Structure 1
Amino acid sequence: MRKMKAVAALGAAAALGLTACSGSGTPHEAATVFPSDTKAEITFTWWGNDERAEWFNQALDLFNEEYPNVEVVRNFNAWGDYWTSRNTEAAGQALPDVLMMDAGYLGEYADKGLFLDLGAYEGGLLDTSGYADTLLESGTVNEQLVGVPMGYNAWSMMYNKDLLDELGVPYPTDDMTLDDLEAYVLQVNAAGATHDPKIYGAADYTGGLPGFIYDRMQHGEPVFTDEGGAAFDKGDVTDYLDSVADLRDAGDFYPVERSVALDPLGGFLGGEAALWFNFSTTVAQAMSDIGTENIGMVQAPTENGQHVLADHPSMLLSVAANSDEPDAAAVLVDFLANSPEVKAIFGASLGAPPTEEGRAAVEQSSSDLIDFTYLDSIADEITEPYPLLPSGYGSIEAKWGDLHEQLLYGDITTEQFADELFSEMDMLLG
């Protein structure tokens, strides 16, 4: 059980000297009660735009209504500036008390001993009883709970109902095999051949690293090692890319030239392709960009129509190991992660709330309804935590996309794709 792992990790954390001192208790002797009149000052930082900042300010104002003597020093940055600042702070062991984390950075920071093990607070100041074990595992590094998800999503296949209705093509189903998918793409292509502009079934769906991760999961294969290296080889990459070579070589995917011309929309968001493979929360973007609420969502096809699914954390909250007020920081994490009032403020903008109570507090938009319904439908099939991503993952994902565009233009082969990808990973991962 995950909770047993968290408790067992406490002694290891103390032995490593990663615990921070506080007048109200150290992490391995964590307080179970935090009186509302306790005085403390903590810092909290997040990334995002002005709209997200307004929402966080509203949430923190609610926190101060409950804990009026806990001063929260607030700060936010745009995405790029955020990580520049955090990396500088991390080098000096001076991270903010509470910080928003991305799954791609969680392992890197945790491996450096920069986070508090929040497992010590479970059942006390931190309530995780409504969270799926698989989701909490995605915030667990070296058997320590270092990130509490504020929201989650899952890999999916979206489809444009308006286009398919216009073409007279039935909607895809959640039990499709990869062979079924290939046949479906060709069916849409044939129906949309005389449309102006021509309608395609899909863009090349090997174009993103998350799709490769999904494929690895279906085969029960790991993606990255515990040490942060690749758990796959060049042959795995070429096999994946070559699995759709017939469609690619025949020009049956949405044309790369047209996709580049429509950038950043691409075929699906531009209303010229029927299918899109992405995380479920992005249905809101699809509705906005295409200008329709008629978007459906099913599980992405697999080799045999069976699925191995994971809940993917969209945002996480962590507490710095250098915090002088770990109990106050843990209380803030609990409030932001669990308060129904906070969930009502953010809706599903940070991903679907992880608990039933949180989801019930959201006044669901049309996109939320599709996302939540999809997540409910696959709940019994979410059996794995999302793979822990290594430091440098974002650069590796970007490299995959760049190489895939070159592949579509015919500038490189799949073997050259794999060679260049591994050269990038060797540089980033060691």
Structure 2
Amino acid sequence: MSLKTLSAVALTAVAALALSGCSGGTAAPAPGESFDPDSSAEITFAWWGNDDRAARFEQAIAAFNEEYPNITVVRNFNAWGDYWTARNTEAAGHSLPDAVMIDAGYLGEYASKNLLADLNPYRGGVLPLDGVSDAVLGAGTVQDKLLSVPLGTNAYSLMYNKDILDELGVPYPTDTMTWEEMDDFILQVNKAGGATEPRIYGSEDYTGGFVGFIYAMMQRGNEVFDADGKAAFTEQDVVDYLETGKKLRDAGDFYPVERSVALAPKGGFLAGESAVWFNWSTTVLQGMTDAGTENIGMVQPPLDAGEKTHVLAPHPSMMLSVAANSKQPQAAAALVNFLATSPKVAEIFGTSLGTPPTEAGQAAIDRQPADTVNLDYIASIQDELTASYPILPAGYGTIEAKWGELHEQMRYGEIDEKQFAQSLFSEMSMVLG
């Protein structure tokens, strides 16, 4: 999804307000200083979600007020679509909430419009972010400005249904598999599952999502988008990636596209009809719920032949920013720090906001089965979480959706890999300018 184009005049006003840091003759506190406990502040905080998330935030803010009793937090939340409609309107009027939840797909656009405050100046005071790694913070850093702090993270993974593989007598996938070995695994599952009802397949087409392409580019040390939000990859990069699955695709060895379309948005893994699922680690709860088993394993995605080390990135599940127009940036930054790093908050939310970005937060969780699988996976790949997730440009949601649309056409045989790449770049030329 992408935001509507904002008025250049309004955006200039936002930037000017952020730089002035004052209203009604009262200067904003100097960055880096601690919030004066004898002073008071009222800040607004907005997030998207449901009533359950709102109830958890009520608990989290109550815990925050034990530490900062003189900061009043005015809360507001909406469902996803209504949330961004409201933020659009506020952005145009340079009146965003002081603390605002941001999705990774919107960060690039909000950054380009100067709507978010640089939080680096507060790192020496109310925003130390103790225990949050540079790789995690890199996902919220645009042109050296820390504009957003992840409340939770996850990582790209290969999930597998142990019940299916045990029943078929097929060994589990490993964290050292190559893509060629992955293809062999899929064929082995297909052969063993050919007599079952319904028939069991090894996998959906693993080139079906743009996220998988991002992983492949990062694994090869390539940029995905440049600092201006333009594609840093080529049509040939897209073709080369799609052709990694061509042999199985042409032979009909992936989970059938007709069945995928019929089951949408579930897919084969969630229906209990395919053995593996490439997705973010925190979606393991959905996997367990829909597939009807807690017996789910998780390893890193395969490597190209000759590669020895995975290049993985902590992917921000949701992020918190301070608005450039905030009149109380220190108080808002204090709230961001508390929500991102307090073990009390992690205990309240579990992994529902993603994996807590600190070890102390992860240790505070009362683990349920899905939490255990997710957190054990994250712990096992710490040495391979060496990159920051790329900043996604304005219009990223449109590009991601176009990839899915074109991939379905390709699987039906309506277009080939080169036509896929050409159509994708045609779409990006309009979306990214």
Q: Structure 2 length normalisation: TM-score?
A: 0.93
Q: Is the 8 A contact 1:27 1:116 kept in 2?
A: no
- The answer (yes or no) to whether the contact 1:155–1:300 under 8 Å persists in 2 is yes
Q: Report the counterpart of residue 142 of structure 2 in structure 1.
A: 141
Q: CA deviation at 1:111?
A: 1.8
2:338 maps to 1:370 = no
- Structure 2 unaligned spans of 5+: 1-14
- 1:93, CA displacement in angstroms? 1.4
Structure 1 residue 73 displacement after superposition: 1.4
**Partner residue of 1:5?**
none
DSSP-derived class of the 1:411 partner? coil
Aligned to 1:392: 395
CA–CA distance in 1 between the matches of 2:357 and 2:33? Answer: 23
Structure 2 match to 1:349: 352
- How far 1:271 sits from its partner (Å)? 0.3
Deviation string, structure 1 residues 307-339 (Cα, Å, up to 9, x no partner): 111111111100001001111111111111112
Separation in 1 of the partners of 2:310 and 2:140? 22
Shift of 1:297: 0.4
Judging changes above 3 Å, is the alpha-carbon distance between structure 1 residues 24 and 35 closer, same or farther for their aligned structure 2 residues? farther
Relative distance call for 1:221 and 1:31 in structure 2 (3 A) is: closer
Question: Residue 296 in 1 paired to residue 294 in 2?
Answer: no
Amino acid in the other structure paired with 1:284: L
1:354-411 deviation per Cα after TM superposition (whole angstroms, max 9, x unaligned): 1111111111111111111111111011111111111111111111111111111112
User: 1:58: which partner in 2?
Assistant: 59
Report the CA distance between 1:286 and its aligned residue. Answer: 0.4
- The answer to whether 1:156 aligns with 2:166 is no
Structure 1: unaligned runs, 5 residues or longer: 1-13
Aligned-pair distance for 1:25? 9.7
Q: Would the alpha carbon gap of residues 38 and 28 (structure 1) be closer, same or farther in structure 2, given more than 3 Å must change?
A: closer
3-state DSSP class of the match of 1:156?
Answer: strand
**Cross-structure match for 1:337:** 340
Tell me, yes or no, if structure 1 residue 238 matches structure 2 residue 211: no
Aligned to 1:402: 405
Question: How many residue pairs get matched?
Answer: 418
Q: Is 2:120 the counterpart of 1:119?
A: yes
Distance in 1 (CA, whole Å) between partners of 2:133 and 2:354 is: 15
2:216 corresponds to 1:215: yes
Equivalence for 2:79: 78
Return the letter of the residue paired with 2:275. Answer: A
Cα deviation, residue 27, structure 1: 7.7
**Contact between 2:129 and 2:340, CA under 8 Å: does it hold in 1?**
no
Counterpart Cα distance in 2 of 1:368 and 1:426: 41
| Most deviating of 401-410 and 172-181 | 401-410
| TM-score, scaled to structure 1 | 0.93
Paired with 2:16 and 2:432, the residues of 1 have a C-alpha distance of: 27
Percent of residue pairs identical: 62
Q: Which residue number in structure 1 is paired with residue 315 of structure 2?
A: 312
Residue number in structure 2 paired with 1:425: 428
Contact 1:36–1:67 (Cα < 8 Å) also in 2? yes
* Match runs of 1:172-251 below 5 Å: 172-251=173-252
C-alpha distance after superposition, 1:293-314 (max 9, x if no partner): 1000000001035311111111
User: For 2:390, what is the secondary structure of its paired residue?
Assistant: coil
Q: Distance in 1 between matches of 2:422 and 2:20?
A: 42
Contact 1:28 1:120 in 2 (8 A): no
Q: 1:47 is matched with which residue?
A: 48
Deviation at 1:38, TM superposition (A): 2.5
Partner of 1:413 in structure 2? 416
